[in-house]
Amino acid sequence: MSHNSFGHLFRVTTWGESHGPAIGCVVDGCPPGIALSEADIQPFLDRRRPGQSKFTTQRQEPDQVRILSGVFEGRSTGTPISLLIENTDQRSKDYGNIAQSYRPGHADLTYDLKYGIRDYRGGGRSSARETACRVAAGAIARKLLPGVTIRGALVQMGPHAIDRARWDWDAVERNPFWCPDAEAALAWEDYLAGVRKAGSSCGAVIELVADGVPAGLGAPLYGKLDAEIAGALMGINAVKGVEIGDGFASAALSGEANADTMRMAGAQVVFGANHAGGILGGISTSQPIVARFAVKPTSSILTPGASVNALGEEVEVATRGRHDPCVGIRAVPVGEAMLALVLADHLLRHRAQCPGAPSGAILPRDA
């Protein structure tokens, strides 16, 4: 058990605070012989990096990753891979006013209640900065999943959802929101500019899709693939809800409407729909894995809110300094990374127990 590790066989342990000298993680259990260098990881960090548009925090961090171990002559050795990212832009003075006071809706209070001590600089351990480590580790996880494509998109910003009929994966890379609906993205620009100007914040919903996932990943009960995806996504800062496939909407469906019918195309099972989001009984079907998660609006806002401080005094708290009006934007690459981590871990677990299982939904199974 570990409070700062993810995964079982492909296992990531993260460490670091926002304003310490560095953050980093250790990736243990990576198979040997995988071509790997910083150049495989950096592009994913660059996607997550703040300060790239006016819609994310203006903190400027190069987020340059270094591999300190586990790679030799360009290939993984099977030993732990240590990744380190230095913190270079630490303006501690910006955050001095929350050293003693607790932002409403923020982890400030609970850290102090639990530990009796808290590195308040930049949110310390609870800073979104920690997610850089997840993104870096996720980049390695993707190398274990050669035929799998993992993509994320923002499908709702504040109260404004996309029109799914306009979904275009190519659009995602062409706007600062990872929005698959180009029209919605335009509207969001205005909306978010207003939120930012008001010193306010808004939430978001992100959808993740993993294509090409082999059948058979997961397990019937505690190690259910959907349960572990849910835990991984709910473990991202500020996430308050997680869905697989039709999610909450499935509650309103009839059994007939919810069933994904099956037909054969040669020896391959093909499905009439994907209400299940690619997972049945905790095990992947070979259909695309579809997951969504909701990110709440950040509690770092300019409007003073009624709060208390460490002395038990009533205060008004407002966040000065840099912040993200919609932290959900940067959660897109983080969500992708978490999904990659879960899939890589389950791939190793699956082949440990079922080494001869076919990767597709092929019938008869042992033909």
Q: Which of residues 168-187 bind a copy of itself (CB under 8 A)?
A: none
Q: Residue 313 contacts by C-beta under 8 Å, 6 or more apart in sequence?
A: none
Across-strand partners of 156? 161, 205
- Helix (H/G/I), strand (E/B), else coil: 234: helix
The mark string for 235-254 relative to a copy of itself (x by CB under 8 A, - otherwise) is: x-x-xxxxxxxxxx-xxxxx
Considering the rule CB under 8 A, would residue 31 count as an interface residue with a copy of itself? yes
> Quick one: which of 43, 116, 146, 147 contacts a copy of itself (CB under 8 A)?
116
List phi, psi (to 5°) of 196.
Answer: -65, -45
Residue numbers 35-74 binding a copy of itself by CB under 8 A: 66, 68-70, 72-73
Identify which of residues 170 and 348 has a Cβ nearer to a copy of itself in the complex: 348
- Tokens for 111, please give them: 């850290």
Shortest spacing between CB 323 and a copy of itself, in angstroms: 10
Residues 331-360 touching a copy of itself, rule: CB under 8 A, are 348-358
215 is a contact residue toward a copy of itself (CB under 8 A): yes
294-323 binders of a copy of itself (CB under 8 A): 294-301, 303, 305-314
Least distance between a copy of itself and beta carbon 215 (Å): 4
Nearest in space to 360 (alpha carbons), one of 211, 149, 262, 216:
216
Q: Does 212 bind a copy of itself (CB under 8 A)?
A: no
223 binds a copy of itself (CB under 8 A): yes
SS3 126: helix
Q: 290-328 as b/e, with b when 16 or more CB fall inside 10 Å?
A: bbbbbbbbbbbbeeeeebebeeeeeeebbbebbbbbbbb
CB of 236 to a copy of itself, least distance (A): 9
Longest CA–CA span in the chain (Å) reads 72
Is the Cβ of residue 115 or residue 169 nearer to a copy of itself in the bound state? 115
How far is Cα 304 from Cα 314, in angstroms, rounded to an integer? 12
Which of 129, 156, 331, 337 forms a contact with a copy of itself (CB under 8 A)? 156
Question: Which residue in 224, 331, 337, 339 binds a copy of itself (CB under 8 A)?
Answer: 224
Q: How far is the CB of 165 from a copy of itself (least distance, A)?
A: 21
Instruction: Tally Cβ neighbours within 10 Å of residue 200.
Output: 15
